[in-house]
Copies of this chain bind each other. A is one copy, B any other.
């Protein structure tokens, strides 16, 4: 994938996760969403640190403490290991592109 903004997956019936680079425990991926959300009542609870940047579209993250964060292009979120979160909304009318960087949690 040479360009993260113009080369979109053709089939967006599900979210699409594409690894850009994976090296020495660090993984950088692009996630493409089109209206998908984390199923109700489910939470991401990851053993790795994650940082996400919204590249295009619109989305909303929800955290277990009730906090919500709306994201537009250029907005970013820090999701340390085991920070329980879910994607509560993504724009159903246009693809939403996320850049996600994952790396190992503290020892």
For the complex, what is the distance from the CA of A80 to the CA of B21, rounded to whole Å? 11
Does the CB pair B74–A21 fall under 8 Å? no
Check B74–A3 contact: CB distance below 8 A. Answer: yes
Please give, as numbers and ranges, the residues of chain B lying within 8 Å of A40 by CB-CB distance.
Answer: none
- Chain A, residues 62-84, CB within 8 Å of chain B (1/0): the string is 00000000001111101010000
Chain A interface SS verdict (over half): strand
Taking CB atoms, residues of chain B closer than 8 Å to A47 are: none
The stretch among A22-30, A31-39, A87-95 that forms the contact with chain B is: A22-30
Please give 4 more A-B residue pairs, beta carbons under 8 A apart, in addition to A5-B74, A20-B51, A20-B76: A23-B103, A24-B49, A53-B99, A99-B99
